[in-house]
């Protein structure tokens, strides 16, 4: 099967969706399929064209920045120059480029699968308030009507987000499929971690909580730091490590200083991908404190689970679909310092429970290896390719007759 993935960003650009697309494409190529990635040239230092060691062809197009996302005006021309694919997998939100892709696919009879990663949020561009809310509503409504509804099938990363999204939930279940997020169970596996000063802390009997991700508002790191403060005031052996970089770095460092936690909280900055397995295996518990549905299920959490680590995750996005509360870790209420602190204290005090959760986490991770996730996506493609072989009409165009207006 020849597959073209169209996605806003791709490594070396860093992000959860970038990792998701890269891993799915890699394994689809390893399985034996012909895979092409079409993305924006961001960063500009990235090559315009390359073929990865796994045989994935990557084409990076010139792009304008529109609505905080790249706009690839040349997408239709580029697609017209390529060998005809069996299916196009469009990853959204990808403003305007998604419309151009949909029109090309329809005009050339190519099955279109849209992976709906999340609702677009326009508040950064238009501000928090009525204008930002109106812009968010307008764009997402447009995207649902003019792109998503016109796809052959729609993929979500979990069923919870499908039910929660005020836009995605308009779609009938018959056209929605789920392809979970996965983890590299070969790279991320349990071993004795030796990451820098964290290893020294653990060797002295300390317990390390680790948060990984960009230091941006929706990650909720201020709540985590305040929750950790309650533990640090009661226990001498507890430490927090925060890995990542972002716009809130200075604010978070100042907060740690005000709370007199400079000796107990370590900001690790950007951690190279090759060092992540060692870092995660040096921690005791992985924590995600996201505050809203901009976070789905952090891949860092799944990677930590693959390392046999218990997790504490706020109940946002589709977290509950992949983090079973009381089995692999604990789900907590978002924006709650008390809930986070209580969960952290529970695992701090109970080493046996940490071990049991970690063992269960590893077992679950083995069911969502990237190869298995890639095969899930391929099964969705097979549906639309098989359907197109039987009928020229899109599944979705028939099903959309049932959709409510507005």
In this structure, which topology does domain 196-367 adopt according to CATH?
Rossmann fold (3.40.50)
Cβ atoms 266, 242 nearer than 8 A: yes
Q: What angle do CA 289, 370, 181 make, to 5 degrees?
A: 35
Predicted confidence band at 388 (pLDDT cuts at 50, 70, 90)? low
- Phi and psi (nearest 5°) for 73? -65, -25
The 10 Å CB-count burial string (b at 16+, else e) for 187-226 is ebbbeebebeebbebbeeebbbbbbbbbbbbbbbbbbbbb
Task: Give me the chain's average pLDDT, please.
Answer: 91
Q: State pLDDT tens for residues 163-214.
A: 988 899 999 999 999 999 999 999 999 999 999 999 999 999 999 999 999 9
Is residue 392 over pLDDT 70? Answer: no
Question: What sign has the CA pseudo-torsion 43, 115, 243, 215?
Answer: positive
Burial of 84 (C-beta count, 10 Å sphere; 0-12/13-18/19+): exposed
pTM of the model: 0.87
Within 8 A by CB and 6+ apart from 305, the residues are 183, 286, 311, 328, 329, 361, 362, 364, 365
The 10 Å CB-count burial string (b at 16+, else e) for 389-402 is eeeeebbbeebbee
Burial of 349 (C-beta count, 10 Å sphere; 0-12/13-18/19+): exposed
CATH architecture of 2-182+371-402: 3-Layer(aba) Sandwich (3.40)
**pLDDT score of 121:** 72
Distance CA 341, CA 149 (A): 42
Distance CA 323, CA 276 (A): 20
Higher pLDDT, 155 or 96: 155
**pLDDT score of 124:** 59
Distance CA 393, CA 406 (A): 24
Would 2-182+371-402 and 196-367 be classified into the same CATH topology?
yes
Q: Which two tokens stand for residue 299?
A: 């891949």
**pLDDT score of 391:** 46
Distance CA 163, CA 166 (A): 8
Is residue 393 over pLDDT 80? Answer: no
Distance CA 225, CA 223 (A): 6
**pLDDT score of 400:** 40
Q: Where are the domains of the chain?
A: 2-182+371-402, 196-367
Predicted confidence band at 406 (pLDDT cuts at 50, 70, 90)? very low
**pLDDT score of 399:** 40
Q: State pLDDT tens for residues 239-271.
A: 999 999 999 999 999 999 999 999 999 999 999
Q: Which two tokens stand for residue 199?
A: 């290893």
Is residue 346 over pLDDT 70? Answer: yes
Is residue 16 over pLDDT 90? Answer: no
Sheet of 176-178: strands edge to edge? 49-51, 57-61, 34-40, 2-6, 87-92, 112-116, 153-156, 176-178
Strand 285-288 to 207-212 pairing: parallel
Question: What sign has the CA pseudo-torsion 304, 376, 319, 248?
Answer: positive
**Checking phi first, is residue 196 left (phi over 0); if not, alpha (psi -120 to 50) or beta?**
left
First to last CA, the chain: 37
Higher pLDDT, 202 or 402: 202
Is residue 401 over pLDDT 50? Answer: no
Higher pLDDT, 34 or 141: 34
Cβ atoms 153, 162 nearer than 8 A: no
Predicted confidence band at 87 (pLDDT cuts at 50, 70, 90)? very high
The single-letter DSSP state of residue 123 is H
Is residue 337 over pLDDT 70? Answer: yes
Q: Can you tell me the mean pLDDT for 306-325?
A: 95
């Amino acid at each position: 099967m020849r597959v073209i993935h169209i996605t806003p960003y791709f490594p070396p650009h860093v992000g959860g969706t970038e990792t998701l697309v890269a891993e799915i494409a890699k394994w689809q190529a390893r399985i034996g399929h012909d895979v092409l990635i079409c993305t924006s040239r961001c960063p500009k230092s990235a090559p315009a064209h390359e073929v990865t060691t796994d045989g994935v062809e990557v084409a990076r197009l010139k792009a304008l920045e529109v609505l905080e996302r790249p706009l690839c005006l040349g997408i239709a021309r580029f697609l017209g120059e390529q060998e005809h694919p069996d299916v196009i997998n469009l990853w959204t939100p990808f403003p305007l480029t998604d419309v151009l892709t949909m029109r090309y696919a329809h005009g050339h009879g190519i099955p279109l699968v849209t992976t709906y990663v999340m609702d677009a949020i326009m508040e950064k561009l238009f501000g928090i308030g009525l204008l930002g809310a109106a812009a968010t509503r307008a764009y997402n409504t447009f995207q649902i009507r003019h792109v998503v509804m016109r796809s052959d099938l729609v993929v979500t990363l979990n069923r919870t987000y499908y039910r929660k999204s005020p836009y995605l939930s308009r779609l009938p279940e018959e056209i929605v499929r789920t392809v979970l997020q996965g983890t590299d169970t070969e790279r991320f596996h349990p071993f004795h971690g030796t990451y820098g000063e964290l290893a020294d802390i653990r060797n002295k009997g300390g317990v390390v909580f680790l948060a990984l991700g960009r230091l941006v508002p929706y990650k909720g790191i201020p709540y985590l730091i305040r929750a950790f403060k309650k533990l640090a005031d009661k226990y001498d052996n507890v430490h927090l490590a925060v890995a990542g970089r972002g716009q809130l770095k200075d604010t978070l460092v100042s907060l740690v200083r005000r709370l007199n936690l400079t000796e107990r909280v370590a900001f690790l900055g950007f951690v190279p991908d090759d060092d992540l397995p060692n870092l995660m295996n040096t921690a005791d518990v992985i924590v995600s404190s996201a505050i809203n549905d901009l976070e789905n299920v952090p891949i860092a959490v799944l990677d930590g689970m693959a390392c046999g680590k218990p997790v504490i995750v706020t109940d946002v996005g589709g977290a509950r679909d992949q983090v079973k509360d009381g089995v692999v870790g604990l789900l907590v209420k978002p924006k709650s310092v008390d809930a986070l602190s209580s969960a952290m204290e529970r695992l701090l005090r109970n080493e046996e429970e940490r071990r049991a959760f970690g063992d269960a986490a590893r077992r679950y991770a083995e069911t969502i290896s990237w190869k298995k996730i890639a095969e899930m996506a391929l099964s969705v493609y097979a549906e639309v390719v098989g359907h197109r072989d039987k009928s020229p009409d899109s599944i979705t165009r028939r099903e959309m007759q049932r959709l409510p207006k507005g």
